[in-house]
Structure 1
Amino acid sequence: MCSWRHLALLFLLLSCLSRWPRTSAAASDTLSTGESLAGNRTLVSAGGKFELGFFSPAGGGSDYYVGVWYKRIPGRTVIWVLNRDSPVADPASAELTVARDGNLLLLLTGNGPQRAIWSSNSTGSRDGDDGDAAVAVLLDTGNLVLRGRRGGNSSAVVWQSFDHPTDTLVPGGWVGLNKRTGAYQALRSWRSAADPSTGLYTDRVDPHGSGQYAFLWNGTAVYHYVGAWNGRYFAPIPEMGMSAKYTFAFVNRSEEVSYSFRVNDPSTVSRLVMSPHGQLTMFDWSDESGQWLLHWATPTSLYDVYSACGPFGLCDVASSQYCRCLPGFEPASPGDWAAQLWSAGCARRTTLQCSGNASSTDGFIPVQNVQLPSGYSPVADAAGRRQLRRLRIAYAYRDGCLVWDGDLRNAQQLADGDAGASTLFLRVAAADLATASHGVATNGRVGVAILGASCVIALAILCLLFVLAWVGRREETVHRDGSLLPRYLARCTKNYSHKLGSGSFGSVYKGSLPDHTAIAVKRLEGSAQGEKQFRAELRTLGTIQHVNLVRLRGFCATGHERLLVYDYMPNGSLASVLSESGHSSRPLDWRARFGIMAGVARGLAYLHERCQEQIVHCDVKPENILLDAGLRPKVADFGMAKLIARDNSRALTTARGTVGYLAPEWILGLPITAKADHGMVLLELVSGRRNRDAAEAGRRGGGGCYFPLWAATKVREGQVLVLLDERLTGDADVEEHGRACNVACWCIQQDEALRPTMGQVVQVLEGSLRPGTAPVPRYLEQLCRARSERILVELAIFTSCRPVIELWKKMQCCKFDDYD
């Protein structure tokens, strides 16, 4: 029997419970007129997919915002922010409400009178006394809609968040332009991961009227276009069509232009985000890993984003991070830099003493091998001295004298000898001169003198080159057989006595210059084809340089002699190294192999994406990848290279290349793109085997069929470790190995639209891009299953080319022995 004390405790407990806030079993998705959302209260969409309420970003301090985020995904991934530029200090002193005039308002309700810091600027009701006139509803799409009476229709949408996106596009949303009202729907980046305020980068319809979507920096500078729509995706972003999970749509009609996407599988959770780095990024949620996986990004490289490293930042491909500060500068926001967000750039360590004063102790330090920043001004001869006296920031000499008088943006560190490399003379305070450049800096007055001297020296060099050219022409007249340079190279190569190798149209010999610099001389043979190869090499390597492309030192064309001079590569070709690794007790280790993979991809990405014209190598194979003393790869032999103008995405050309490395479009006679340089070499580096090694595939259970097909099947089955060269005895980075195998299998897909660009291959190898598992290339599977004459004849009819069968025979793809 309960005592009176038990009864008293029970009464107290019931009293407390009666005062405890109660929530309904199903949280509300609706905010009606006169109701408010404040503190910890939230709206949850009817299906429980999205939630709306006050939040503070991780690391964002004491600022609070109203936003929409995924309800069922751990953490808080925000897709929309209502008051991104007007945060509140305390969610308990603010409320989101639907006013009686039909507006959605965010009010400050602390001390003093209420005031609105955000309004939807909509009118949902014509009758201010009608309490049911307007209602805000959070939909399962993530769209916050405001409905009200318009002409008696209480369900009419008078305002919606999808018309005002922030940095994220979700299925059902859109980015575009209302041509009737002139209103833009644009994705605008967050300032940083902890700051939702309007950032520097925007994805919107091109304000200059090109009809394309453009990426803008600070609302002014266009730094990237997504290109033309081909019916399925924007042409420069084929990754849009790589996944069957979602479908993109593009509309361009009289009233609007917009793009959007939908998911084909209801279980798929995807979002498109304009990142604080200035890249448009596509993410898919993975329940298995419990994280967002980056599917693709454009531009593929941060170096193509305007001011990615901010003012006085230097983009450095060899750095452990993308950006570093110029000498004499330090991160303006160390916290952002620690989070790998560099757009705030760098600030001077020491303030300049006195701008433009001749007695200033400020000085100039040289920054070597940089691509010059944007925003320079040429110095006219007449005003040169006066302008140099007023010089404040930097100067350089390149096709004339150039000066900077504001923030330096887009400076990039280049490799030694790069054709675009220059020396930038940067003004710093006297206090930074002693520690910068090891005493090579000069004071302000001497710096100006150096600029003047540089201009004079450059003029003298031009005159000297003119004289040499004139003398050379005279010598050519005297020695009409052009024997001087060939004789010189003959002496350098000891009369071509040390042959390094030979190909279809010539041989390569080792030589040495008088200063003992080792060189390789290619002596082309054969009249017509040799001439074509010679011109192709000059057309490509003669105008570009990259750390992962072989360096062309010189050439000779006289009479029937065609000579090309390169840097000598002491470790020979990758083919020879892989061959030695196959029989040696010390094979090429994983670290070297992975470095070669990444280096080759970077070199090809440079050719495809960063040259004035796209350069398609057309013959990427281990024999054409040379290794220097440090096993750094150099893509070589550009005799079959094809140039494609930037305004064309593809070109129709005669078949070229090496059997076993031909992309399907070569064999089928289709137009080619840069993706014809596909990734067979990746599989060979992983396995240590050549792609035609049918016996190896058979020994490992492949039935004697084409090795890449066997490898792709194993990758699809998740058995990537069986592809690793057995001589490595498992000594490899498992994650790197998996990434390499998967991207290799994406590279050998039949549909070139499914293949990644080389820039994306670099991203996958680096780990910043994570595509799904590659499908098995069905065309290889079908060919390997071909056993009857009927199937083979059908194949010949399909390709309209009987020699196709002979090509695939040579690739040892299938057993064609019974077919004549």
Structure 2
Amino acid sequence: MESNRAWMPSEYKAERILVRKISFFMDFPMVLTTMAVSPPIYNTVSCAQADIFPTARLNTTWIATTSDLNYIQFDLAGANVSVIPVLLRGHSGLSFACGFYSQAFAESYVFAIFIVQTDQRSIINANMAPALVWSANWNRPVGNQVTLELTEGGDLVLKDADGFVAWSTQTSGKSVAGINLTDTGNLVMFDENDAVVWESFDDPKDTPLPGQKLRVGQTLIPSDSAVSTIEPGLYSPSLTTEGLFAQMNHDPLIVYYSRRINFPNPSSDSNYYLKFESDGHLRAYQQRQNGWSTTHDVLTDPSGKCGYQMACGPYGICGADGNCSCPDRYFKPIDDSNPRFGCAEVVPLSCEASRFQSFLRYGQSNYSSNEGGDISRGIVGLGLMYEESCREACANNCSCRAAVFFSEEGPTEIPGACFLVFRVFSILQLSGPYVGTVFIKVQNSSAGIQIPPSEPPDYPSTDKPHVFSINSKMAHVIMILIIGSSLRSFLFFIFLSVVKKCLFRNKGVREDGEEKSIGETEEDYLDQILGAPKRFNYDDLKIITEDFNKRLGEGGFGSVYEGTLANGTKVAVKHLKVLSQTKKSFIAEVETVGNIQHVNLVRLVGFCAEKFHRLLVYEYMSKASLDKWIFQKSDESLMLDWQQRRKIISDIAKGLCYLHEQCIQKIVHMDIKPQNIFLDENFNAKVADFGLSKLIDRDQSQILTTIRGTPGYLAPEWLHTSITEKVDVYSFGVVILETVCGRKVFKESQNEEDMHLLGVFKRKNEEGRLSDIIDKNSEDMQLNQPHVIDMMRLAAWCLQVDFKKRPSMSTIIRVLEGVVEVPSDLNYNFPYPTFMNDSIRIGQEDVEFGATISVVPSILSGPR
């Protein structure tokens, strides 16, 4: 082992500080007490350890073997861990080390960074269990005799005993001079000029550390936890330009946490770190006498124990008190000692034995804890129907495992919203407006398998399950009523049945009494839309697109393909992924665009709604979307001049003015961004993608709606008030700035103060240097600086925080025509990003984490 205590990069010679700042991005600081605060001194285990240094040069090799002098075994309660540190940034107290880490006493290793306790001689205390904060090969541990080599070519390589490469930094040939473990736990590879070539902070795992920047788009990788029934990667927090969202990686994504929280102030001499674990919890750990223990469950403290889709594991019922149980006698705990592991079916569901199936009914329950969100996330909505029909829809679908029914008043004769569940997480017994009735499909005894007997349940109540037979027919119910009721009651029931049949003819049931398929009610509705465009069948669209051969683009909602109609006209065919949210988007698009036509709106030629296929056919826009032109820097032939950009801005304004002011109903687009502005062969701009649009009656000034749109373009009023067409005006202001500046509203490659365009805009206005942010790649834009700056001031008017002070689209058109002037008393204190002024402080006065409003990724669009 080749090391040198005196050799160390100059940038790491600065003294340690006690409090460091983690900046996730922009103004989202995260402050933690560093691990260097000295704890009480405990008796250390005497270890004959060799010197371990924080740095190493090239051509150094370490081999993991239990005979190594630095092999340390922590045989403590709950911590059967062994380590072989190879680098150590030692202090008296808590220190960072990196090296080989094993949770199975040298049976397999990962290369990791961990926190240890050291004395004044930098000797590691074997009485204090290490805290793992980063690992390279967490998903591919290697056996004994593992080798870590800092090669002569500058690559850090982890190999098993057979020489198989389990992990590598892939930095060979990048002039690496050495590696250094910093005071903040960052493993850095640098060149001869002390410039960083590679660092572990760029590869975040489950533990954010002081000084570490988490960039937009990055996701924390949860560590293993005691909840072994939860599949790896089910939960993850990810970063967007609008904040940190903890989500469950289901299709579509389900956000289970995105709000501001506070928890008690820890003592000033404590040492904490945060870890995101595989059960979806973000836990704060505090150093104790011989290890680390949980002090706060950061996401659970404000949202409750039932605030997770798998709070009680699969099929587990999370009660109002947060305790877990299994549904009735048809299920058994996976682990009797830990009810949060969930429940297993006594007899698995079988399509072949569907006649032996029934339902367990749980009232005052829900399948989603997302308050105010779309209750259909992760499940398929069937629309309005009766409770019995909702159960039967699930019974007739082999893949359905549960049904959720929501009715305002509760009685079964009142129609309500029905949803089918195809993968059962936890059932949440909650109070509030977003609760209903959950029906869990169960398998009764068949083929000789017996279900344990239980007491017959009472009539369905809010807290007791009731068994419903799938095969119970109306005749059986009538017979019971005849036996137990008066003739008057029976006649009244027949009357209700007739009313029910009439209602069903309008609510998705055929006249022959059979339930319609999931898509048929929607298809019938589409047929009734007045002025709807041409309806294609799926086979025709396969021919038009040559079996979807030429893809023009792809987004979160599906792919777009080029096609040619029989008359030779080119079209663009959007093939939607059929999820609950895309169905809503599809209907909104057909309803909205199918009935309007304007030169600055992309024309909807037709649509297809056939079985599970949902496609939209648009006019072909040969120059693609605006973002392809304003954000590219390499091809001068694609550079737009000032007049082209001004014309595009004017075209967008005219399209939005038509939507807001010239239609029978106001249409709020709600997702204006460069990716939704398309250009034809003459660079005429047209607004596209009405999947998130909302219709507003002329006599209705505001609407309440679920938050929708794209981070960076969302108006600030989404946070606290009703929505008007002025949200489009705000987004339009952002697009103006992006168009004249030639950069995205959020650009993570910039330094922190320049990441957000609105922040730069504000600062440059205060400095009187708006010309600094005009697109520098266009000479023509530079030659027209006075006109461009006037356009920037129009953008500022559109971006006013108070939506009442923003101009209407017709006023904007008059400004562009030179008839109206932009006010001089504009407020440049733009909200950027929309709600990222929160922070984390551990060991300080308060703790705040996350955002102030739930934002659902399944309705936040990228390019579509």
Greater Cα radius of gyration, structure 1 or 2: 1
Question: Normalised by the size of structure 2, how large is the TM-score?
Answer: 0.35
Larger relative contact order (Cα-Cα within 8 Å, sequence gap ≥ 6):
2
Between structures 1 and 2, the one with greater helix share: 1
Question: Normalised by the size of structure 1, how large is the TM-score?
Answer: 0.37
